Structure formats: C-alpha cells, structure tokens
Amino acid sequence: METTLIILKPDAVQRGMMGRILSRFEDKGLQVVGAKLIKISSHLAERHYESHKGKPFYDGLVAFMTSSPVLVLALRGNGAIAISRKMMGATFGSNAEPGTIRGDFGVSNSFNLIHGSDSPEAAERELGLFFEESEILDWERAHQGWIYDMSGGAPE
C-alpha cells in the first residue's frame, strides 16, 4: 500500500468543495489515514515548493497557498499516487479532461484546486512536511476486502 499527500488548495476550500473532492477519493477506494485543516505558513509553503524557487510563478504560488486555509490529506491505497494524479487531471484546469477534479471544477491555470505528490519520494518528503508520524494512522477498514481482490494474499 502506498500513502500520498493531497492538498485541497485555498480555492477548493473557499469554494466549499472539500466534501465533494474528498468523496471522490473515498468513492474510488482510497483510505483517509490523515487529515487536517490548516493555514500554511510562508516558511512551510517555501519548503514545500522549494524546487520551484526562482521560477516566475514561485512568489505568487507561495502567496496563494498561504492566503486561506487548506485541507491536507494523507491517502492510502494500492497505487495511490498514480490513481490520485489521474483523478486530479491536467495541471491547468483549462486543459483537464471532464471527469477529473480539475476538469469538472476548474478553468483557471493559476487556481487549480488540488496538489498531489508525484512520486513515492515526493510523497515521503511532503507527508513529512505536513504530518507528524503520529498523525498518519494505520487502521483497518471493514470493507477493505471489497475494494481489493486479496485472494492472492496482497491487493491486486
């Protein structure tokens, strides 16, 4: 099982979309193992987006991410990173396919509703920025066997 970081950005929170977006991940079968509503500090935003430092959009991105609360999620599932990214859609809402979060809810190229880790290494780093180890829980869902075929001993 893989755990990924998802951030519902200020535009998603301000537009009252947290429940609808979170429901999509749960409906898909991903498990919420950590969640909190926070206001990101400038320091945390700068650390999170440090790979973009020096790019023309960096200052605006940091300002946007610190402008309003965000919902930070740790989601777990078999292939959670790739599944989440596919569900999110293309980075720019104007290019995102219908059926994706950005395709259904976004048109802006700047306000794109959601962030998701893009690799296992990024997920580990990002989860460490936003969650203490004790805030990501291991718990068994009663319906887990109905989400994954476990007949071979591991989720398929």
Please say whether the beta carbons of 31 and 143 come within 8 A.
no
User: What is residue 155's predicted lDDT score, i.e. its pLDDT?
Assistant: 77
| CATH class held by domain 2-131 | alpha beta
**Which residues participate in catalysis according to the annotation?**
115
The pTM is what? Answer: 0.93
Q: DSSP state, 4?
A: E
User: Which element (helix H / strand E) includes 16?
Assistant: none
> In the sheet that 2-8 helps form, which strands lie side by side, from edge to edge?
31-38, 70-77, 2-8, 114-116
pLDDT in tens, 91-146: 999 999 999 999 999 988 889 999 999 999 999 999 999 999 999 999 988 888 78
Report which residue type is found at 31: Q
pLDDT in tens, 18-74: 999 999 999 999 999 999 999 999 999 999 999 999 999 999 999 999 999 999 999
The arithmetic mean of pLDDT across residues 11-18, rounded, is 98
Please say whether the beta carbons of 48 and 38 come within 8 A.
no
Report which residue type is found at 59: D
